[in-house]
Amino acid sequence: MSRLGDGIVWIYHERQDALLCGQHALNNLVQACAFSPGMLAEIAQQLDQMELNYMAENDEGGTRSKDYIRRVAEGSGNVDASGNFSIEVLRSALLTQNNLSLPNIRQQGILDQMDITDIEGFICNRESHWFAIRKINGRYWNLNSTKERPEQISHFRLAAEIEGLQQEGYSVFCVTDALPPPCTTNEGRERGLPQYWWKEEDLVKDKTDAVTGATDPWKNVGSGMRLDGKVNCEEEKSNLLENLTEEEMLQMAMDASMM
């Protein structure tokens, strides 16, 4: 049974699309399609410019210094050609949108002040891959975008799971403040694409035919239809993205960052 009143609890789990796992990790963390490739690419560009401005003002020789010229030649330090964003981009995005910080879990004092099971969520990174672990309705879920569906992690196993990831070379960042609440309504599911919503009760029971937002028989009840016959923006965006190749999606993100 769901534990948030009488409402059904839904879990948002974006799947790997192109090489934008940093975007998926953030969206899975906040349980909404809140961050776009274009938004993150724009933040990366802003951070790059801030770093160049600092070097121009503080390096001997300014914009003619060897370090400045080398930095410009290297290109962006916050997003690479494959669409992999830096931790500073993810931190800036989460702070701007949700007023949440994302410190490294090994930062002094974090686990001295609380138990690991008091932490709301985690972002894990190794090389170019990012994924989220998030507490939803009192349970922890591995929301790795390369997985077919969310996977539950028990409170008892959480510490061992995090330690195991660190031993494998992952850096683990955490959110110690309150994350956005779980989705418990049809209206709430409008903040994400339907195919990425999973019915928590079915996942807990490990049903092979677990209901998703796309297969929910009640998904259209009460939603109505626009009088002009047009689809809503999220559905229109979903249909558009489905017709794009990975290269076209990445180019869209990079183009948006230059506007």
Give the pair of three-digit tokens for residue 225: 């239809």
Give the pair of three-digit tokens for residue 75: 């290109």
User: How far lies 112's CA from each of 35, 107, 108, 140, in Å?
Assistant: 32, 10, 8, 21
The residue from 13, 21, 33, 183 that is catalytic is: 21
User: How far lies 168's CA from each of 126, 171, 236, in Å?
Assistant: 9, 9, 40
Q: Quickly count: other Cβ atoms within 10 Å of residue 37's Cβ.
A: 23
The one-character DSSP state at 85 is B
The one-character DSSP state at 229 is -
Q: Is 183 a catalytic residue?
A: no
Q: Is 144 a catalytic residue?
A: yes
The one-character DSSP state at 226 is -
The residue from 28, 84, 142, 144 that is catalytic is: 144
Q: Is 129 a catalytic residue?
A: yes
Which residue(s) pair with 125 in the sheet? 130, 171
Which residue(s) pair with 10 in the sheet? 183, 199
Distance of alpha carbon 11 from alpha carbon 102, whole angstroms: 21
The catalytic site residues sit at 21, 129, 144
